[in-house]
Structure 1
Amino acid sequence: MKKFILILLLYSSYFSLEAHNPLTSRVELVSSSNNKAVLNIYMTQSGLQKALLNEHNAIDFKELSRDQYEKLIIDYLKSRIKLSVNNNLLELGLSAVKLGSHETDAFFYIKNYPINTESLKVDIDAFKENGNQQTVFWWRSPKKNEKVVLSKKNDFKKDFGIKNNSPFLKNQYLLIFGILVISTIGFILFIKRKQLLTNGI
C-alpha cells in the first residue's frame, strides 16, 4: 500500500494548478485496477486561507503550529468532500498536506475503493463560501478518464455512470418483451394464414 501511495503522490506532483486563481481548485480521484485509490487536491493558498478564516473566525492562525494548521485543512476538506462509488460513501483515510506559498496540496488514501465501479457520485462544495468557486474534478482510472467543472451552476455535484432514470429506460425490458410477444403472435398468424391459403389452393 505504501508503494502505491508513493507512486500516486509522485504522479500527482506532475500536476499543478494551471493558474493561481483563488477561486479555482482541482480534485483528482486516481485509482488502479486492484481497488487502490487516492484523492489528490490542489488548492490556491489564498483561497484555502480565506475559507479557513471563514470557518474558524475565532482562531488566531499565527498561534497555530504547522501540525495544527494542517489538521484544520484535513478536517475542512473531509467535511466538504463526499464521494460515493456504487452508492457506498468512500472513506478518506491516511492523509498528507504539502504547504506552499501559492499552492497547497492535500492527499487522501481511500480506504474502501471497490474493485468494480459502476457509478460515482461527487459532492464537493469546498471553498464555495469564497464566492464564484470552481472546482475541476477528474476521475482517473484504468477504464475511465472523465472531467467535470463543479460550481454553483450544478450545485457542486455530479453523477458519473448513473443510468438514465427516464420512464422509457425504466420499462425497457417490459417494452422489449412486449415487442417480442407481438412479433411472435404476428409470425404465428402469418404462418397460419399462409397454410390456409395453401390448403385452399
Structure 2
Amino acid sequence: MNKFVIGIIFWVIPFISFAHNPLSARYYLETTPSGSVLTINLSQSGINHLMTKKFDEDFFENVDEKAWKELIVNYIKEKFTLKVDGEKVVLGKGGIRLGSHQTDLKFVLPFISTESKDISIDIPAFKENGEHQTIFAYNINGKTDKVILSEQNNYKAHINLTGNPIKAESTTNSKWLILLFCGIILLALIKVFKAIF
C-alpha cells in the first residue's frame, strides 16, 4: 500500500509544480472614490529567468540595485496596457520592493469612474519565459472578479463591468484539474501520515 501511495505522490509532483508555477504573476487593480492602485506580485525566479535571456553574465556582476529596479519597472510598464472605455490608462507614480522570492510593485492610476462600462487588458509580461500565466484580479468600485491570462488568450481580456464580466479564454477545465490533483495529493498525504503514525 505504501508503494502505491508513494507512486501516486511521484505521479502528481509535476502537476504540483505546475500549480505553484514560480513563473506566474498576479496583478490586482483596486479603485475607490479616492483613486486607483495597481499592485503587482512577481516571482523573483521569473524575473531572474527573464533577465538571463536579455543580458549576459557580466551585466549581473556590475548592475546595482537602483538600475535593477529601473529595469524591472520599465519592463512592466512596456508590457502593460489597460484601457477603460477605450481610453488608455498610463501607469503613474509607483514603487518597487525587491524580495528573495517575490518582488512587489505598486502604481497609482487615475480614478476609474463608477460609470465605466468596460476595461481591456493586455499583459504579455514574462511570456518570453514560456508557459507563463498572469492572474489579473480587480475590485472596481465594488465589482470584483479575476481572469487568467496565458498563451491561450494571448495575454488579453475584455472585462464588461455592466453585464457578463469577462470575455477571455475559458480556464474552467484547468481549475478543475488543479482541484482534482490537489485532492489526490491531500488523500495521498493523509494515507502516508496514517501509515507513519
Q: What's the counterpart of residue 159 of structure 2?
A: 160
Q: Match of 1:130?
A: 129
Q: How many residues align?
A: 144
Secondary structure at 2:93's aligned position in 1?
strand
Larger Rg: 1
CA contact (8 A) 1:85 1:113 kept: no
Query: Map of 1:1-201 to 2, 5 A cutoff?
Result: 21-34=21-34, 36-57=35-56, 60-110=59-109, 112-115=110-113, 116-161=115-160
Shift >3 Å, 4+ stretches = 55-59
Instruction: Give the fraction of aligned pairs with identical amino acids, expressed as a percent.
Output: 33
> Residues 20 and 103 of structure 1 are in contact (CA less than 8 Å); yes or no, is this contact kept in structure 2?
no
2:141 partner SS: coil
Q: What does residue 195 of structure 1 align with?
A: none
**Structure 1 stretches lacking a partner, 5+ long:** 1-18, 165-201
Query: Could you tell me how far apart the structure 1 residues matched to 2:24 and 2:58 are?
Result: 25
Unaligned segments of structure 2, at least 5 residues? 1-18, 164-197
The equivalent of 2:7 in structure 1 is: none
Distance across 2 between alignment mates of 1:113 and 1:55: 35
Alignment partner of 2:137: what SS?
A: strand
Give RMSD over aligned pairs. Answer: 2.1
Greater relative contact order (Cα 8 A, min sep 6): structure 1 or 2? 2
Q: Aligned equivalents of 2:103 and 2:50: distance in 1?
A: 13
Which whole-Å deviations, capped at 9, do the CAs of 1:149-185 have from their partners, x for residues lacking one?
A: 0000011000001789xxxxxxxxxxxxxxxxxxxxx
Q: CA separation of 1:142/1:114 partners in 2, compared to 1, >3 Å: closer, same or farther?
A: closer
Normalising by the residue count of structure 2, what TM-score does the alignment of the two structures yield?
Answer: 0.67
